[in-house]
Amino acid sequence: MRIAAERRTGRHGAARGPTLAIACIVLLLSACSSGTASVRDTATGVHAKFDPANFVDPTLSPNKWMPLHPGMQWTREGTTLVGSRPVPHQVVTTMTDVIRRIDGVPTIASLDQDTDAGQVVEESIDYFGLDKQGNVWLLGGYTADYSSGKYTYTADSWLGTQNGGEVGILMPADPVKKTPRWYIGKPPDGTGSAAEVVETGAHQCVDFACYDNVLITREGEIGAIDNAFKYYAPDVGFIRDSPRKDSQHKDVEQLVNLTTLSPAGLTDMSNQVLQLEALARKAKPDVFGTTISTRAR
């Protein structure tokens, strides 16, 4: 999935994770902020303390807003601006079973494949972690850009807190209207980003289906938070992306298909992640080094 703003402007999400339940974030300025507090509030949003000991197997997937079940595949379609011209746009997101340990935390790899006007323009990996309270974290990523089907350059590459990366929550376990804005984090050379709840309990229809109890968040870069409204359906995940005033590419996306891959299909998509990681080790050896991810068993 796209993190905070259009991926072509550079990904600015980063790893995140609290050691207290999300209720402590909701009550941050009252009872929960005491002694050795594990959260802190700044103008950029609530920052959560990163504690590797607080993480669990991400495939357990208790977060209903962002399922991490290997084999789930979402297809979203819409439009994006290329220059000033809107063109057809598609994103296929696959939760693979590739596991990479980042900063001592087991993460699961999600693969995004983006096409504009029928041509592949990007392939991206996001590495998600899961804490004991059910909060989903983004702990790293890699984005390869393509032109005419051929790799051109690496747009984004980072893993955890190395080289100055900052971490934060991507999707809380139980976001409510009173949840303060949360800091998503940033890669070492990126701009921090954040998210906040806009509405809960919404009814939303997309091409694939209609959903009740939909969560709507606002996400964007610090200083340009009004980039996009993102819609999440319970036990389904990300179903719609609606651009706001701070959006540059005006990406419009809605869910058109959701499926669970066969074992053979999952193996194929996981192998594509491993191949993309091989490219990452060549393009960004200072980040990916020689470490090779493994598949969950």
Q: Give the per-residue pLDDT at 48.
A: 82
Other beta carbons within 10 angstroms of residue 153's beta carbon come to 10
Classify residue 296: in a domain, yes or no.
Answer: no
Q: Give the per-residue pLDDT at 166.
A: 86
Mean pLDDT on 118-130: 94
Q: Give the per-residue pLDDT at 180.
A: 87
Mean pLDDT on 84-109: 95
Classify residue 297: in a domain, yes or no.
Answer: no
Classify residue 2: in a domain, yes or no.
Answer: no
Classify residue 115: in a domain, yes or no.
Answer: yes
Task: Identify the domain containing residue 197 by its residue range.
Answer: 7-287
Amino acid identity, position 177: K
3-state SS assignment for residue 16? coil
DSSP for 34-56, written as a single string:
-SS-SEEEETTEEEEP--GGGEE
Classify residue 293: in a domain, yes or no.
Answer: no
Classify residue 292: in a domain, yes or no.
Answer: no
Q: Tell me which H or E stretch contains 267.
A: helix 263-283
Q: Give the per-residue pLDDT at 11.
A: 34
Amino acid identity, position 39: V
pLDDT digits (tens, 9 = 90+) for 146-189: 998 899 999 889 999 988 888 889 999 999 988 888 988 888 88
Q: Tell me which H or E stretch contains 1.
A: none
Q: How many domains in the chain?
A: 1
Q: Give the per-residue pLDDT at 266.
A: 98
Note the pTM of the prediction, 2 decimals.
Answer: 0.87
* 19 pLDDT more than 50: no
Classify residue 19: in a domain, yes or no.
Answer: yes
Cβ(144)–Cβ(279) below 8 Å: yes
* 25 pLDDT more than 60: no
Classify residue 51: in a domain, yes or no.
Answer: yes
Percent over 70 (pLDDT), the chain: 85
Range of weakest confidence among 35-49, 78-92, 129-143: 35-49
